[in-house]
């Protein structure tokens, strides 16, 4: 990576971690479908590789590429974003405490509350866009401050630098799930975070054809600890999936520029639409987190949520009537998607918790793709007619 440090993001995205094969000149990183490696003597692996659960050259290439994009020293790739979060939790012992945002990816909430709280780990969920609420929740057992920004699905913005200061003062690590922003828009390590977590399934993969996750950081001891759990538990990313994500990160910059431009146009369109009660998009000046987002992000991303007049019925009608926006969970692919979080991605969060976090039943979430924006707006227009017919009919 060393030589890549001075290069710009777009160039690192294409080249970091990837060198032509010294044997045959192949430019793309091969998919190393092997489980084991030659040793020169017992316990003396020829090139440092022993067994592919522990490490694999295709995965190494992706790990170096992600580290270069996030401005970190190292990366570790996992079978999914949740496997990466799991590895973080594997380091905790009974009595340890985590302060987490209250507007998290639904599966993260489920992992914390349904799995790790059974092992005696305590979680406190707070509105992490309020730094004082984060500070008030810290205890002397707090090991992580776990943030998403922008949050999912309400696109709230947490001030990473301020939260990292609070965490550091209390001896806790700051973890930022950077899935929504991607390193093209936001680099949490530069803002003082200790670890970045990704669901590579989303923008970094970018084509909705792979499930993968990663952790990126700077501290070597932390890497050793996390790599121990990755190897001991076995949640590593396979070589073919590593290859697919590497193919995705090459075009991350290009895709993000279009995602952002399209989303801005659509957010403005929705904000002026008579059937829309509220638009959640950090790029809108009236968004509560706009100033912090403008400071810590380079643009505002491709995700938009909005509340429709007519509540959940209107949301159902809207999301069933689009033709380009496919009704599906997930996000971050080149194709546009629509979903109804309380019924789909966030159904695992109890209604009471959802409402406490401000997630109302009529919410609709868009993952704005890279299609032509005029086609997307025409599609939204058509679905608005269906939502209105449902609301009045
Ligand atoms: C999808 C997602 C996850 C979980 O990642 P998987 O790859 O599905 O396991 C975590 N955080 C965010 C913000 C996500 O969107």
Domains and CATH numbers, the chain: 4-250 (3.40.640.10), 253-392 (3.90.1150.10)
Decide: 346 in ligand 1 pocket, CB within 6 A. no
103 catalytic? Reply is no
Q: How many other β-carbons are positioned within 10 Å of the β-carbon of residue 166?
A: 21
Decide: 379 in ligand 1 pocket, CB within 6 A. no
- SS3 of 135-165: HHHCCCCEEEEEEECCCCCCCCCCCHHHHHH
360 catalytic? Reply is no
> Within the chain, which residues score under 50 in pLDDT?
1-2
Decide: 105 in ligand 1 pocket, CB within 6 A. yes
Decide: 177 in ligand 1 pocket, CB within 6 A. yes
Which one is catalytic: 103, 127, 159, 177?
Answer: 177
Decide: 152 in ligand 1 pocket, CB within 6 A. yes
Q: Burial-class residue 91 by CB neighbours within 10 Å (0-12, 13-18, 19+).
A: middle
pLDDT for residue 362? 84
Which atom of ligand 1 lies at the shortest distance from residue 83's CA?
A: 9
Give dist(CA 367, CA 135) in Å, integer. Answer: 32
pLDDT for residue 390? 82
- What tokens does 19 get? 């060198």
53 catalytic? Reply is yes
Q: Answer for the pair 183, 309: CB distance below 8 angstroms, yes or no.
A: no
Decide: 199 in ligand 1 pocket, CB within 6 A. yes
- Shortest-distance Cα residue to atom 8 of ligand 1: 81
pLDDT for residue 348? 77
pLDDT for residue 9? 97
Give dist(CA 188, CA 57) in Å, integer. Answer: 27
Quick one: which of 296, 367, 293 has its CA closest to 325?
A: 367
Task: Tell me how far the alpha carbon of residue 82 lies from the centroid of ligand 1, in angstroms.
Answer: 6
Task: Tell me how far the alpha carbon of residue 109 lies from the centroid of ligand 1, in angstroms.
Answer: 11
Task: Tell me how far the alpha carbon of residue 272 lies from the centroid of ligand 1, in angstroms.
Answer: 31
177 catalytic? Reply is yes
């Amino acid at each position: 990576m060393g030589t890549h440090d001075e290069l710009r993001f777009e160039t690192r995205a294409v080249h970091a971690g990837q060198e032509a094969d010294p044997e045959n000149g192949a430019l793309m990183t091969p998919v190393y479908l092997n489980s084991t490696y030659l040793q020169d003597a017992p316990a003396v692996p020829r090139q440092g590789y022993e067994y592919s659960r522990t490490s694999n050259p295709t995965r190494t290439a992706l790990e170096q590429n992600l580290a270069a994009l996030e401005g970190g020293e190292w990366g570790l790739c996992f079978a999914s974003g949740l496997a990466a979060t799991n590895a973080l939790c594997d380091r905790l012992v009974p009595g340890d405490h985590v302060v987490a945002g209250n507007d998290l990816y639904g599966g993260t909430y489920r992992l914390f509350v349904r799995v790790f709280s059974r092992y005696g780990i305590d979680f406190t969920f707070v509105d992490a866009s309020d730094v004082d609420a984060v500070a008030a929740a810290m205890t002397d057992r707090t090991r992580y401050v776990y943030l998403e920004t922008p949050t999912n699905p309400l696109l709230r913005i947490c001030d990473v630098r301020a939260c990292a200061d609070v965490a550091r003062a209390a001896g806790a690590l700051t973890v930022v799930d950077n899935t929504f922003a991607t390193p093209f828009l936001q680099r949490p390590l530069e803002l003082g975070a200790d670890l970045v977590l990704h669901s590579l399934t989303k923008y970094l993969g970018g084509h909705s054809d792979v499930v993968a996750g990663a952790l990126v950081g700077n501290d070597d001891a932390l890497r050793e600890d996390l790599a121990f759990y990755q190897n001991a538990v076995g949640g590593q990313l396979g070589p073919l999936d590593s290859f697919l994500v590497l193919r995705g990160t090459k075009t991350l910059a290009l895709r993000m520029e279009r995602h952002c431009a399209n989303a801005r146009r659509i957010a403005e369109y929705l904000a002026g639409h008579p059937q829309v009660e509220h638009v959640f998009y950090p790029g809108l000046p009236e968004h509560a987190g706009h100033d912090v987002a403008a400071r810590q992000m380079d643009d505002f991303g491709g995700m938009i949520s909005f509340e429709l007049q007519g509540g959940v019925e209107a949301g159902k009608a809207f999301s069933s009537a689009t033709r380009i926006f496919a009704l599906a969970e997930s996000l971050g692919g080149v194709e546009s998607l629509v979903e109804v979080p309380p019924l789909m991605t966030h159904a695992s969060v109890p209604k009471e918790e959802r409402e406490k976090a401000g997630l109302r039943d009529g919410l609709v979430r868009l993952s704005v793709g890279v299609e032509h924006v005029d086609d997307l707006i025409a599609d939204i227009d058509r679905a608005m007619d269906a939502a209105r017919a449902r609301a009045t009919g």
